[in-house]
Structure 1
Amino acid sequence: MKVNKKLCSVALASTAIVLFLILTLSTASATTAQSTSSTAKYAYITNSGSTTVTVIDITTNKVTAKVLVGKYPYGVAVNPAGTKVYVSKEASSVVSVIDTATNKVTATVKVGKKPWGVAINPEGTRVYVANEGSKTVSVINTETNKVTATVKVGNYPCGVAVNPAGTKVYVTNTLDNTVSVIDTATNKVTATVKVGNLPTGVAVNPAGTKVYVTNEYDVSVIDATKNKVIATVTVGKYPWGVAVNPAGTKVYVTNYGDGTISVINTATDTVKATVKVGSYPLGVAFSPDGTKAYVAKETSGAVSVINTATNKVIAIVGVGKEPVAFGKFIATT
């Protein structure tokens, strides 16, 4: 069974699973500022147990700031320009907007109940938020910081991803074992794809042709043209986070249950390497050049940095309490 204390924050029941939500709160660290001379230079790690977002300089792998955002930050997404960070807060049903020039929260946007996954379109004009408690996706206009549409999807939506063209949004419905496909021109669900048991994470390749979904025991590979599963890849124990490298040649999957990363070769849809990273890995994201991958580890309060050429851990960075970093927490440009 897939065991997690917080992800998708619901007791998920099946013949083999019961998830218990345990939320904790500690005193948050003070906010500090940083230079934004290189907008894709930083990783933003949500610390669900300490009400902060830790900022890591990915050039030096040093912490440069901690941003106070409030209770239980989980989902996170950085806009393509690296100027804003959007953080979902499950307890308050809001998304906090961080200005990366000052590392301060400049706006909070009310969304649906229990927001989790967050994703941004390539233009940086729309933010999509999966609200697990209301079976919806909120669409935020980034210029006004207002919700302009609410899209009904499946039961307990968790992960969300936008394709590179900005024309489709993919949402994992954890308790329906499906992925909803939203047309961004109409904000309507145009397809529902049956995947594996209890899907959570979702990512789209750079070509927009394949979608990767983490299930309780494996990864479903969806043909984005046909909206059909074309492959199922067995990975480690209880996969959660998923990310595709910038070249589209590798997919990294965090295996929460056994402390590893599965590296999938996208040409063959097979696992080519397994990397030990430590206890309870959750979010994963690549550096813009694809040479490094960053993995948030919930119980260790740290992020592991992987050299993607060798699939070896080259650094461990201490962050806050119970880091999750569920989403694209590094800018792409």
Structure 2
Amino acid sequence: MRRGGLLRVLVAGLVLVAGLALPVAVSQPALAVPPGTYAFVTNILDDSVSVIQTSDNTVIDTIPVGDAPVAVAITPDGAFVYVTNSLGDSVSVIQTSDNTVIDTIPAGDGPVAVAITPDGAFVYVTNSLGDSVSVIQTSDNTVIDTIPVGDTPRGVAITPDGALLYVTNVSGNSVSVIQTSDNTVIDTIPVGDGPLGVAVTPDGAFVYVAGIVADSVSVIQTSDNTVIDTIPAGDGPLEVAVTPDGAFVYVTNAVGDSVSVIQTSDNTVIDTIPVGTNPQGVAVTPDGAFVYVANLVNNSVSVIQTSDNTVVDTIPVGTDPVGVAIGVVPEPTTPALKLTKLTTGEKFVRGRQGTYALTVTNTGDGPTDGSAVTVTDVLPDGLTPVSFSGSGWACTLTPLSCTRSDILAPGADYPSLTLAVKIDENAPKQVTNTATVTGGGTTAISTATHTTTIVDKKQQPKPPHHDRPGHGKPGHDKPGQGHLPGPR
């Protein structure tokens, strides 16, 4: 291939762009994103991510991220997007419900590629200048491990069962195989020169690796990690993507300004599709109907219709688009808290104590968000609080309330609260107690009321005849003792 073209590709593909003055993306107000299929495209010179709505191929949002974003990956549930910032040595986390950056995670030196495990629990990031892979735990977005790999790691892909990770080492002309159970390298596979992009077939049987210097694609058999085929591609093959049915592999040829289509049944190139100038990242829609290709020089994304492999649309995006990933943003889920209030007895008795039991249930389709959940009770006249408590709750008598912040899953209950009250001697015959629950990410207030009847203390009855003094004493039943004959 041409040396000048290779240099341009490596500048974009490996992100060796230190010293460039990059423009700053302007933040926009966060808006709710409707459910649907979206393509997320990194713009390396804009420090941004363009969000394309695939239903009409319009850019609906531009998200500012870190310095020189390269690769992008979406969690399996579509809730979050992870973006590698190659010059910022970090990973931005985007929340897809409103397309806002909710976290920035420090990574290794020169992070470029990213892949997420099928269960969404871990994110693997290749650090091209650190010769390592960072492992991020998604539950708290912390780096829990750093794995040494080959020379200049670039691409990364995970098998569908999540057991193995394949990492291309550009300068080492090899692929490192990482066992995710303990994050150790268990194999190193020689491949064609300049391996960059990598993808695994949906059945996990094969791995396709684009060799930018070799102008070919290596096919690795995962059962024994051997190269079983080498497929000639276009000029400067850079990235690869496999269709959901595993029938075809799409390869961007960065110098040839085209996309090669490989038929996996016999590993032959069946088509070559002209696209924009210097195509980079490539991704397939979940239904397999379309392929999206980022064109670096044209600042655009080409949309290929897979039924006939023709370009059906070209979408303007930010400056120097590099990476692309496609995912389904789900219908937003929200918590809904319901408060139930009962008394432990049918009636309250004046001058004594009574108790209420209060239970908070999440009846929504989403968990609470970790913000404070507060139960507040306002007692009616005639009742005075004695105690308010429940496992995991922090309660006070003034004001009469309890709070907690742990996340409550849909359909689950918090431990019940017990409110003990003293019933005044002059309490009315009937009282209605009202309590509310708020917070946890809910917008509505749930109110629970309970009406209770109040009765007087029962008067102590006179002791029965046989319990009266003198009854049962000796002589009680003798004449003149105890009962006398005749009317009483």
Whole-angstrom distance in 2 between the partners of 1:129 and 1:58: 26
Instruction: Please show how residues 213-292 of structure 1 align to structure 2 within 5 Å.
Output: 213-215=209-211, 216=213, 217-292=215-290
Residue 169 of structure 1 and its aligned partner are, at CA, apart by 0.5
For 2:131, which of 112, 132, 135 is the aligned residue? 135
Q: Is the 8 A contact 2:35 2:328 kept in 1?
A: no
Whole-angstrom distance in 2 between the partners of 1:22 and 1:45: 23
Whole-angstrom distance in 2 between the partners of 1:254 and 1:23: 25
Whole-angstrom distance in 2 between the partners of 1:29 and 1:313: 31
Residue 37 of structure 1 and its aligned partner are, at CA, apart by 4.1
Instruction: Please show how residues 41-190 of structure 1 align to structure 2 within 5 Å.
Output: 41-190=37-186
Whole-angstrom distance in 2 between the partners of 1:251 and 1:105: 32
Whole-angstrom distance in 2 between the partners of 1:272 and 1:6: 28
Matched, 1:204 2:237: no
Whole-angstrom distance in 2 between the partners of 1:231 and 1:23: 40
Q: Is the 8 A contact 1:6 1:22 kept in 2?
A: no
Aligned match of 2:310 = 312
Whole-angstrom distance in 2 between the partners of 1:65 and 1:263: 30
Aligned match of 2:25 = 28
Aligned match of 1:7 = 13
Residue 33 of structure 1 and its aligned partner are, at CA, apart by 4.0
Whole-angstrom distance in 1 between the partners of 2:18 and 2:243: 31
Q: Is the 8 A contact 1:31 1:103 kept in 2?
A: no
Aligned match of 1:14 = none
CA displacement, residues 72-131 of structure 1 (integer Å, 9 cap, x when unaligned): 000111111111000001111100000111111100111110000100011111000000
Residue 34 of structure 1 and its aligned partner are, at CA, apart by 5.0
Residue 193 of structure 1 and its aligned partner are, at CA, apart by 0.5
Identity %: 42
- TM-score normalised to structure 1 length: 0.93
CA displacement, residues 161-216 of structure 1 (integer Å, 9 cap, x when unaligned): 11100001000000000000000001000011000001000000000000000002
SS of alignment partner, residue 200 of structure 1: strand
Residue 9 of structure 1 and its aligned partner are, at CA, apart by 2.9
- The one-letter code of the counterpart of 1:304 is S
Aligned match of 1:297 = 295
With over 3 angstroms needed to count, the CA separation of the structure-2 counterparts of 1:56 and 1:33, relative to structure 1, is: farther
Whole-angstrom distance in 2 between the partners of 1:313 and 1:305: 5
Q: Is the 8 A contact 2:38 2:328 kept in 1?
A: no
Q: Is the 8 A contact 1:23 1:72 kept in 2?
A: no
Q: Is the 8 A contact 2:66 2:91 kept in 1?
A: no
* Structure 1: 5+ residue stretches without partners: 11-19
Residue 36 of structure 1 and its aligned partner are, at CA, apart by 4.2
CA displacement, residues 251-286 of structure 1 (integer Å, 9 cap, x when unaligned): 000000011000000001010000000200000000
Give the aligned CA root-mean-square deviation in angstroms: 1.5
Which protein is bigger by CA-based radius of gyration?
A: 2
- The one-letter code of the counterpart of 1:134 is G
Q: Is the 8 A contact 1:162 1:204 kept in 2?
A: yes
Q: Is the 8 A contact 1:62 1:317 kept in 2?
A: yes
Aligned match of 2:334 = none
Q: Is the 8 A contact 1:27 1:50 kept in 2?
A: yes
Whole-angstrom distance in 2 between the partners of 1:226 and 1:313: 38
* Structure 2: 5+ residue stretches without partners: 330-488
Structure 1 runs (4+) greater than 2 angstroms displaced: 20-24, 29-39
- The one-letter code of the counterpart of 1:127 is V
Whole-angstrom distance in 2 between the partners of 1:108 and 1:84: 13
Whole-angstrom distance in 1 between the partners of 2:111 and 2:254: 21
Q: Is the 8 A contact 2:42 2:322 kept in 1?
A: yes
Whole-angstrom distance in 1 between the partners of 2:328 and 2:245: 12
CA displacement, residues 110-156 of structure 1 (integer Å, 9 cap, x when unaligned): 11100001000111110000001111000000011001111110000
Q: Is the 8 A contact 2:113 2:126 kept in 1?
A: yes
With over 3 angstroms needed to count, the CA separation of the structure-2 counterparts of 1:23 and 1:267, relative to structure 1, is: farther
With over 3 angstroms needed to count, the CA separation of the structure-2 counterparts of 1:206 and 1:32, relative to structure 1, is: farther
Aligned match of 1:38 = 35
Whole-angstrom distance in 2 between the partners of 1:165 and 1:24: 42
Residue 24 of structure 1 and its aligned partner are, at CA, apart by 4.7
Whole-angstrom distance in 2 between the partners of 1:295 and 1:231: 25
- The one-letter code of the counterpart of 1:129 is V
SS of alignment partner, residue 145 of structure 2: strand
SS of alignment partner, residue 147 of structure 1: strand
- The one-letter code of the counterpart of 1:38 is P
Whole-angstrom distance in 2 between the partners of 1:22 and 1:297: 23
Whole-angstrom distance in 1 between the partners of 2:29 and 2:315: 18
Q: Is the 8 A contact 1:241 1:254 kept in 2?
A: yes
SS of alignment partner, residue 14 of structure 2: helix
The number of residue pairs the alignment matches comes to 321
- The one-letter code of the counterpart of 1:93 is D
